[in-house]
Chains A and B, each alone.
Chain A
Amino acid sequence: MGGATYVVPVIIGLYFIAVLVAGVLAGRGRARLSTEWMVSSRELGTLVMVLLMGAGGISAYSFLGAPGWALDYGIPILYVVVYLCVGAFGTFFWGPRFRDLGERFGLLTQAEIFGDRFESKILRPIVAIFGIAAAMPYVVLQVKGCGYVFQITTGGLVPFWLGALIGVLVTGVFVYTSGLRGVGWANVVMGATMFVIAFATMFAVLGIHYGTWSPAPLFLDVFKSSPQHLTLPGNKNFMSTTFWSTSIIVCSLGIPGFLNQVVMYLGGKSGDVIRKQAMLVPIYYFIIAPCIIIGFLGVLKMPGLKPSDTVILRILMTSAPVWMLGLLCAGAMGAAVSSAAPIVQASAGTVVHDVVRPYYMLDEAAHYRLVRYMVVPVSAVGYVLALKDPRSLVYILLVAYGLLAQLAVAYIGIFIWPRANAQGTLCGLLAGFLVTCVYTFGPKPHPGGIHAGIFGLVANVILFVVVSVFTKPNSRSTIERYFPDLMERLYE
């Protein structure tokens, strides 16, 4: 423990220096333009895109929380792996289309695309605020993850507030200097090291406890002591098969709904780069397996540990060399920063581009300056919320994927169904939002074991179609820009 007090912060410090160098250098010599900062001049290649999405999808919650879930409930945690992989289909299908629109019409954000396609000045800021509100709790979680890692591993020498502040500052620096390109290259460093660290830690821990790299003896021991951890519904009847299935549907539909995902699509070098990214990223998600396996070791070594999220740290603190604990903490910090940075970057850009700019004339130079300055207040909000930890955040986290999945219906209007319009989209989103909230927080949450987001989707689709059909369609010029291939059949 004494060694950990100093060794862990030093290893994390060196790691953060490497991340900062990668992130800051990525932006050197680049054009000082909004297009460069917000969507990296649409030049990101396959490596950066895979690790931007891969590392971005693996948060501190996955790195530290997934082992905790494995300890508490067992195998149901694997629904995360399935929805991340199935969600890659969303990237494969929507991603190249978003990128194509962005390049053809010079669009920079998810909300701007909504505003342009549906010819609505109201929908644009609503989608912007909706997207930021749904994503911001994830930034808060990452900031909290940074604070906890420092606090626990140094025995309180580095307090929570300081650990969280370090995480925010590191994120803010490379996001501010280099925008999406900096986030991409920082995620290359963090994503690659996280992958190596996760597997190295698992093999080392299994070697220490079982003298083998195989997890088989561990799972046989878990089967003897707590077989319910190895099947659905899991320990304490945590997740029924119905909830497993419906959660995967809702969460996988929600992935392309994150505003930072769309910004990432817009930054891709080509549609095919995004397809390759979607194709390869499920392989990257193997990274969650070693974390979960170490969590299962906790079932045997630390049953009932509270808080369970610390299980992976506790196991290493009690049984592994201190340098290994330092590396794992560096990986956890990388998971936190790599997930927070894309959201901070996309949120800062979206606030200025979709909420401020439509109402205040900004020239290109002012727009470029302001999107970068906005990183400071966005990061500050994440930091303050992490310290205050308001209860409302928990509510937002509970429904975030259910809400973001509602945007998938609107995507149909952008890319597939020309008759969709702003009224239908807005009514559908509102209905989906309300129904999801009612079935999450109402007297009978998730009725029949079905995820509340499914009910929201049904309400959303009905209103989206009915209201669109019975209200005025978008102008022919807009439809022609978005659906040139359908024009011959579309009009009577």
Chain B
Amino acid sequence: MGNDKARMRWNVARFPRTTKAWVITVLVVVACLCGISPVIFFFNRPLPLILGVPPLFFWSYAVGLICTAVMALARSWGVY
């Protein structure tokens, strides 16, 4: 075991291998950006109410549903 360091490559890691896995990876990033990116500026206004609540209130829960949808797709594709 003493020469483990010499023989192990440092730049090998698990990455998504299939196209579906990459698609899901991109969708996860997009879903996360929905909650934190400048998208929220568009919803950062008091009116008009959407489904009876302010736009940012609506969008915060929409992000949750987008996350659920992405995970449902990943599960149905057997990715991750």
A residues with a Cβ closer than 8 A to B are 75, 78-79, 81-86, 88-89, 92-93, 96, 214-216, 219-220, 223, 227, 230-232, 241, 244-246, 248-249, 252, 272, 275-276, 278-280, 282-283, 285-286, 289, 292-293, 415-419, 468-469, 471-477, 479, 483, 485-486, 489-492
Contacts and interface: CB of A to CB of B under 8 A. Distances in A.
B36 A490 contact: no
The interface residues of chain B, by DSSP majority, are classed as: helix
A473 B71 CA distance: 34
Nearest to A94: B80
Q: What's the interface size class on B, roughly?
A: 35 or more
Contacts of B74: 92, 275
A248 B36 contact: yes
Nearest to B41: A241
A214 B50 CA distance: 12
Given A241-B40, A249-B36, A415-B14, A283 B68 contact: yes
A75 B56 CA distance: 8
Interface of B: 1, 4-5, 7-10, 12-14, 28, 31-32, 35-37, 40-41, 44-47, 49, 52-54, 56-57, 60-61, 63-65, 67-68, 70-72, 74-75, 80
Given A82-B35, A219-B53, A245-B37, A232 B1 contact: no
Contacts of B4: 472-476
A283 B64 contact: yes
Contacts of A92: 71, 74, 80
A93 B45 CA distance: 34
A248 B52 CA distance: 25
Given A279-B75, A283-B68, A485-B14, A231 B40 contact: no
A275 B14 contact: no
B24 to A, nearest CB: 10
Nearest to B45: A231
Contact of A75 (B1, B57, B61): B57
Contacts of A252: 32
Contacts of A246: 36
8 contacts: A84-B64, A215-B53, A230-B56, A231-B45, A231-B56, A418-B8, A418-B12, A471-B5
Contacts of B41: 241
Contact of A279 (B14, B37, B71): B71
A403 B13 CA distance: 25
Contacts of B13: 416-418, 486
B63 A275 contact: no
A285 to B, nearest CB: 6
A416 B25 CA distance: 15
A89 to B, nearest CB: 6
Contacts of B40: 232, 241, 244-245
Contacts of B75: 272, 275-276, 279
A473 B56 contact: no
Given A85-B63, A485-B14, A216 B56 contact: no
Nearest to A93: B80
A479 to B, nearest CB: 7
A231 B8 CA distance: 52
B61 A289 contact: yes
B51 to A, nearest CB: 9
B61 to A, nearest CB: 6
Given A82-B35, A241-B44, 7 more contacts: A81-B64, A84-B64, A89-B32, A275-B71, A279-B75, A416-B13, A486-B14
A36 B36 CA distance: 40
Contacts of B61: 81, 286, 289
A218 B71 CA distance: 34
A245 B46 contact: no
Contact of A280 (B31, B36, B45, B68): B68
A460 B37 CA distance: 24
